[in-house]
Amino acid sequence: MKFRRLVFILILAAILASYFTKPGKEDFIKFMQPAVNQTHVPPVVEYEDKFLYSKITATYADIHNPVLVDNRTVAPARKEIYIGFFKRFWKQNK
């Protein structure tokens, strides 16, 4: 019985710690600051607040290398998805 109680308390403590240490949008902007300094173009950030984590989608536009498509000049873009958990961010690979 003590073992079950200990496991239950550890799981509950991990859930509470995850909830209270979930990073915010401002934390992600601070995290991405070195990449923004290199390109001088900040990404478009879409922030989703989940219960135990946060999901961030950053869209980077490459305005320095435009591409001609259908007689229109467009800037190529790429999306990166990050998961925020315990005040840290992890990039998701597709």
What gap in Å lies between CA 67 and CA 74, rounded to an integer? Answer: 5
d(CA 6, CA 19): 20
DSSP 18-74: HHHT---HHHHHHHTHHHHHHHS-PPEEEEEE-SS-EEEEEEEE-TTS-EEETTEEE
Note the pTM of the prediction, 2 decimals.
0.76
How high is the pLDDT of residue 72? Answer: 83
Listed range (35-39, 66-70, 81-85) with the worst mean pLDDT: 35-39
As a residue count, the chain comes to 94
- Check pLDDT > 90 for residue 71: no
- Name every residue whose Cβ is closer than 8 Å to that of residue 31 and which is 6 or more positions away in sequence: 23, 89
pLDDT digits (tens, 9 = 90+) for 14-63: 999 988 988 988 888 888 888 777 767 788 889 998 888 899 999 888 87
